[in-house]
Structure formats: structure tokens, C-alpha cells
A = this chain, B = another copy of it.
């Protein structure tokens, strides 16, 4: 007898090309309409609807109705995290073009994980925050120090408002390209939104790719002491 025979329940959902494509598309953390997802997976809307119903039924995806549109999104950060794991485990696609290769590199450098930053940039920033004593790792989460409270306030983040949100506040999220932790949860999301607001990073349409702007380079250097050269070098 096996120990965890339930593997099939989850994997069966991912073992289908169309569903996998839909989920991968949703991994940018944004809402998408059914037609949009159908187009991305190159299937008819009925088929997408069929798959989305299954994903909703199994609590991987939630939907929100708005007028005649229905918007779909990954259900929660736990699901997003699990999908990140699956993606990192699965063999990377054969690199056919130079374009694809550099796209992969950029993804490893900085990408979204559901609703916060992931990749090399995210891990670096998290490490710096830990070294500087803004946050401390405790068990499987981070806690904010008083020094950290000042830092986040200066950055323009309302820590108190964030902590009131009904979700894990300061979650240590496993980063799968870097094989270590980065900051997730409400604070991770708050930081991500703030970077966008400040124009430090830019999120591209229909992609999880994140680009660091010139303003961002200065910002991350001034606030975090992050030398941007570090990011370009692999390991």
C-alpha cells in the first residue's frame, strides 16, 4: 500500500495541455476572462469553460462575475505556490531561439509569483532585509522588527493596514528558481504594489516577466543598497 495515493487528484488536473496552459497564464496573478484564456490555449470558448469549471470545482481557481464577463484567477497563494513548484520541477522547454533563451533568463531574474515578486531580485531583497534586521525568519514565516517598521514606513508602506488583511501577513515563500525563500503574503504583495507605484518595476502584458526600470535601479540601490550588477551575474 502506498502512503499518499492522492497524488492523482492534483496531477490529473495538470496532466492536460489546455488546463496547464490556462493555469500557467493565470500565474501572473491577474484576472483573465474565459475567452482570453481560450485564445491563449488555442481552444474554443466552450472547451475553456469546461476546463475552468473543473478548476473551480477543485478549488484551484476562483471566478468573479462582472457584467457579462467572468473573470478567473488563481484561488489563493497556496495554490500559486504549489504551481510554482510544479513548474520548476518540470523540465524546462528546449531552447529553440536566442529570444526564448533570454526570456528565460529574465524570468529567472525577476517575475511575479501570484501577487508578489519572485526570482533572483526577490531573493536578494529578502536577504538584504533579513541582514539589515528589518525582518527575522521564525519557523516558516518572517516577522517585522521595530527597525523594519520604520523602513517600510519610509518606503511608503502602511504595515498596519496590511496586517489587517485576512491572509498570511509575512509568509516565507519558497522560490523555485533560486531554491530558497523569498517574502510572500500580504507584505510581499504590498511591496510589489509599491514598487510598481514608484515605477521601480514594470509588469508586462500577458507575461509574468518583470523589468527593472532605471528609476528602479537607483531606488533599489538607495533603499536596499542593492548593486544592480549583482543581478546580471549568474550566481
- Listed in ascending order, the chain A residues whose CB lies under 8 Å from chain B are 1-12, 14-17, 20-21, 24-25, 40, 82, 85-93, 104, 107, 139-140, 174, 179, 208, 235
Contacts and interface: CB of A to CB of B under 8 A. Distances in A.
Given A4-B87, A11-B20, A85-B89, 11 more contacts: A1-B40, A2-B40, A3-B87, A6-B91, A6-B93, A8-B15, A9-B90, A11-B14, A12-B15, A82-B89, A140-B179
Could you say which of A8, A139, A235 has the most chain B C-beta atoms within 10 Å of its C-beta? A8
Nearest to A94: B6
A92 B21 contact: no
B16 A87 contact: no
Nearest to A19: B8
B8 A24 contact: no
A183 B36 CA distance: 45
B3 A107 contact: yes
B91 A9 contact: yes
Given A85-B85, A139-B235, A235-B139, A90 B16 contact: no
A182 to B, nearest CB: 14
Contact of A7 (B8, B14, B25): B14
A11 to B, nearest CB: 4
A32 to B, nearest CB: 13
Contacts of A6: 90-93
Contact of A25 (B2, B20, B40, B140): B2
A2 B15 contact: no
B85 A4 contact: no
Given A89-B85, A93-B4, A11 B11 contact: yes
A78 to B, nearest CB: 10
Contacts of A88: 4
A90 B15 contact: no
A7 B86 contact: yes
The 10 A-B pairs of least Cβ separation, nearest first, read: A2-B24, A12-B15, A15-B15, A11-B11, A11-B15, A11-B14, A7-B90, A4-B87, A6-B90, A2-B21
21 contacts: A2-B21, A2-B24, A2-B25, A3-B87, A3-B93, A4-B90, A6-B92, A6-B93, A7-B90, A8-B14, A8-B16, A8-B20, A10-B89, A10-B90, A10-B91, A11-B12, A11-B20, A11-B86, A11-B90, A82-B89, A139-B235
